Chain A
Amino acid sequence: MSKKLLFIEDHQDFAKPVALYLRQKDFLVTHVGTGKEGWQKLLKNTYDLVILDLGLPGEDGLKLCQKIREKKSIPILILTARDEVSTKVSGFNLGADDYLVKPVSLKELVARINRLVDKDLKDTFRSSVFQFDTLKFDTVSGQLISVKKSIQLTKKEKAILEYFLLKKGRVLTRMELMDHIWGEAIDACSNTVNMAISSLRKKLRQLSKRRFIHSIHGLGYKFEWEKGSDG
């Protein structure tokens, strides 16, 4: 089945040949010239991927990227003339799955689109901001945020929490945490991991009454925030 693409791009003379090429490659392309139209299309229809220009008239493309990611798990490919590293990094952090700078090779564009739609990322939520229970965790800044306040995590606490969230529901052994967070330069007998876990627990407790990190005797730790989260 042909994959459906939503192409948000204001420059007609750029959009037309690109859309034409993508159609020749068997994609169903819906092209819109403004972010507002794009947003409305997204709310009404289902697409397999969004191609998003950042330089839309009167709109901040990055904000739109964030808005889409907060509501939709659709793959987002940013296609823009803005080539600064900081913009790229923001794009990824706000939920983009890929970032391509104009002028673009159409063949590369198609290769990148294909690998995103083939992965079937549609039903997944992907952002650098994780939400669990009533809390949010910004994996980039290391801020742990509740409705009332936010707490800054240390580097190691941040790395542990990010790893827990990535391995959702799985039991992590102390060895594995050591290996993935500290690398090999740490003494296997030390209680570094326990200390970091206990300080992370304290910070979590300041924001929520719920217990997230469960010690599993003789095995390690498990991070859970909802029933059936390990399914």
Chain B
Amino acid sequence: MKVLLTEDNIELAELTAFNLKKHGFVTDIAHSGEETLCLLEGNGEYDAIILDLILPDVDGVRLLKDIKSMAPMVPVLALTAKDSEKDKVSGFQAGFDDYLTKPFSHHELAARLRVLCRWHLYQPTKKIKIGSLHINLETQTVARDGRQVKLTLNEFRVLSFLAKNKGKRVSIGELLESVWDRNSTNGSGKVITTVSRLRKKIGDYQKKIIVTRQGGYSVGDN
């Protein structure tokens, strides 16, 4: 399991990551709010996030809001020296999934993280609907009119990337970067063929995937 740890105290962050490793966690460390958001944007998937409330560049509660808007499914634990009743209550009200005060035991931290990961697993799955098409991001399956559509992983990724950006124009370059990688040979060719196969498979008779004038694609809003 992979967690993101935001902690401005470099030594404490490294010690915590070292200890979490013993409990089977892989830890990415961020030392500021800005780094946290960068890592979230870049690496995307974390199983949980640990957040110090006192950071050099941003207030922890403010940062939580940004995190939750980017990754609403990922549980966030506050790990902080702020130990007053008032801080804890407002922490939970702000949307923290758990709250642990410093000094802490890494055994307890690991146990609480495991509990959060178990919850995360059972939260309602993320689904996006486009017309008669149902995309389940959690199980990576697609159904049209209730029937499963078999897609390859890249086709699925293209579709979900377009779906997540519903109504917006997505360039071929963006698709290439998110699904393959930027330096892939004959990149735009790959994108174009994948999109056309995808269209056939989902039976895009309703013209959900639109080719925009500027080059690129867009998925309609309903």
Contact = CB atoms under 8 A, between A and B. Distances in A.
Contacts of B89: 107-108, 111
B88 interface: yes
A171 B140 contact: yes
A44 B194 CA distance: 56
B139 A170 contact: yes
A89 B106 CA distance: 10
A105 B90 CA distance: 14
A111 B93 contact: yes
Interface residues of B, number: 36
A230 B153 contact: no
Interface stretch (B66-74, B117-125, B195-203, B214-222): B117-125
A97 B115 CA distance: 6
A180 interface: yes
A179 B114 contact: no
A218 B111 contact: no
Contacts of A159: 1, 24
Nearest to B93: A111
B47 interface: yes
- Which residue of B43, B45, B118, B141 has the most chain A CB atoms within 10 A of its CB atom? B118
B115 A85 contact: no
A218 B117 CA distance: 28
B32 to A, nearest CB: 20
Contact of B1 (A89, A105, A128, A162): A162
Contact of B108 (A88, A97, A183): A88
A92 B1 contact: no
Interface string B79-112: 0000001001101110001100000010110011
A157 B175 CA distance: 34
Nearest to B85: A105
B111 A108 contact: no
A166 B47 contact: yes
B119 A126 contact: yes
Give the 3 A-B residue pairs with the shortest CB-CB distance, closest first: A124-B122, A92-B111, A111-B92
Interface of B: 1-2, 24, 26-27, 43, 45, 47, 85, 88-89, 91-93, 97-98, 105, 107-108, 111-112, 114-115, 117-123, 138-141, 152-153
Given A105-B88, A183-B26, 7 more contacts: A111-B93, A124-B119, A126-B118, A126-B119, A159-B24, A170-B139, A181-B26
20 contacts: A85-B105, A89-B108, A92-B111, A92-B114, A97-B115, A105-B85, A105-B88, A108-B88, A111-B89, A115-B97, A119-B119, A121-B119, A126-B119, A126-B122, A128-B114, A170-B138, A180-B1, A181-B26, A183-B26, A218-B152
